[in-house]
């Protein structure tokens, strides 16, 4: 069993009709646990009812919550979600518990023993959490596979944060539009070449939604087409996080880039046929997409 540690925001997604657990690292940890890994979350929630319910949800899915911090002064995070077609739009509450993430001894210890660390950019919007995440990544570097799922969320886009995190990552995952945005933001016209050759990233994964995805290493670029699915009863919330968890799952098992890409794409497509970031999936549904 591989240990996959997700670091960053855990919160409630507030939809017009209901609320659902969310936050990219939270989703990644849940999907890692579902895939059979030891999914671990390092986050911070309020000492409030919303925080207790969120932790209980995570435990119910088999996520290790021993490293969830409680904030006495700030509430558990929330995001108001609206859908334009199947595409989500987010309004992210500020000055919430995960903005004050810390890096205590026990958190530093678990990242040193992890197989993979998954981190994004949003949780680094505050000085406190940015410093804590920096310390945790420093502890993990050279020990675990560090996966940076860029996951840009305007207006919380900081060139310095992105550049610094790219420089400690082993694998970078971003959408086609994010790649263009970061290329401009960092003034790197040949972004993938720069990441691989100058920064020393091992692999860059570019996702293209229904058009599939690609992984580029120093030796090759492999691509997979999109999976034809019916999304009329689902949404794209969490599909990218499902892809990240699946990608980490296979990379730490030394799967080839093509095997990793195709399996992650199928898993993300299945999640997109359901509503919410971490929908219930049956064993039959997982078997039907030949996931393992």
pTM of the model: 0.93
Give pLDDT, residue 248.
97
Give pLDDT, residue 118.
98
Give pLDDT, residue 292.
53
Given a cut of 70, is residue 114 above it in pLDDT?
A: yes
Specify burial of residue 290 (Cβ count, 10 A radius: 0-12, 13-18, 19+): exposed
96 CB-near residues (< 8 Å, 6+ apart)? 11, 46, 74, 75, 76, 77, 78
The pair of three-digit structure tokens given for residue 146, joined into one six-digit string = 């560090």
* Higher-confidence position of 211 and 70: 70
Give pLDDT, residue 83.
74
Q: What is the pLDDT of residues 172-181, one digit of tens each?
A: 999 999 999 9
Q: What is the pLDDT of residues 95-109, one digit of tens each?
A: 999 999 999 999 999
Q: Which phi and psi angles does 5 have, rounded to 5°?
A: -105, 125
Place 5 in a pLDDT band, splitting at 50, 70 and 90.
very high
Specify burial of residue 239 (Cβ count, 10 A radius: 0-12, 13-18, 19+): buried
Give pLDDT, residue 62.
96
**What is the share, in percent, of the chain residues with pLDDT greater than 70?**
94
Give pLDDT, residue 235.
67
Given a cut of 90, is residue 242 above it in pLDDT?
A: yes
Give pLDDT, residue 287.
75
Q: What is the pLDDT of residues 48-97, one digit of tens each?
A: 999 999 999 999 999 999 999 999 999 999 999 887 766 677 899 999 99
Give pLDDT, residue 230.
64
Q: Where does residue 196 fall: left (phi above 0), alpha (psi -120 to 50 degrees), or beta otherwise?
A: alpha
Q: What is the pLDDT of residues 126-172, one digit of tens each?
A: 999 999 999 999 999 999 999 999 999 999 999 999 999 999 999 99
Place 238 in a pLDDT band, splitting at 50, 70 and 90.
confident
Give pLDDT, residue 211.
87
Fold for the domain defined by 3-284? 3.40.1190
* Higher-confidence position of 235 and 245: 245
**What mean pLDDT, rounded, does the chain reach?**
92
Give pLDDT, residue 33.
95
Given a cut of 70, is residue 255 above it in pLDDT?
A: yes
* Higher-confidence position of 232 and 60: 60
């Amino acid at each position: 069993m591989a240990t996959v540690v997700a670091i960053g925001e855990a919160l409630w997604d507030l939809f017009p009709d209901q609320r659902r657990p969310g936050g990219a690292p939270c989703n990644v940890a849940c999907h890692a646990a579902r895939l059979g890994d030891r999914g671990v979350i390092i986050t911070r929630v309020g000492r409030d009812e919303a925080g207790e319910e969120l932790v209980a949800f995570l435990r119910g899915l088999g996520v290790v919550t021993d490293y969830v911090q409680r904030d006495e002064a700030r509430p558990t995070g929330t995001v108001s979600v609206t859908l334009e077609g199947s595409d989500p739009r987010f309004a992210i509450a500020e000055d919430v518990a995960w903005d004050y993430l810390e890096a205590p001894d026990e958190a530093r210890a678990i990242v040193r023993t992890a197989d993979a660390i998954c981190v994004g950019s949003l949780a680094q919007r505050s000085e406190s959490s940015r410093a804590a995440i920096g310390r945790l990544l420093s502890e993990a570097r050279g020990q675990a596979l560090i996966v940076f799922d860029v996951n840009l969320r305007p207006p919380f886009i900081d060139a310095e944060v992105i550049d610094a995190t790219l420089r400690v990552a082993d694998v970078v995952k971003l959408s086609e539009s994010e790649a263009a945005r970061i290329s401009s933001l960092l003034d790197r016209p040949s972004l993938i070449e720069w990441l691989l050759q100058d920064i020393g990233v091992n692999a860059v994964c570019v996702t293209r939604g229904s058009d599939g995805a690609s992984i580029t290493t120093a030796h090759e670029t492999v691509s997979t087409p999109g999976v034809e699915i019916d999304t009329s009863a689902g949404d794209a919330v969490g599909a990218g996080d499902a892809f990240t968890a699946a990608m980490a799952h296979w990379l730490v098992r030394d799967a080839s880039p093509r095997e990793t890409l195709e399996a992650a794409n199928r898993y993300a497509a299945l999640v997109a046929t359901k509503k919410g970031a971490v929908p219930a999936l049956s064993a039959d549904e997982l078997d039907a997409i030949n996931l393992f």
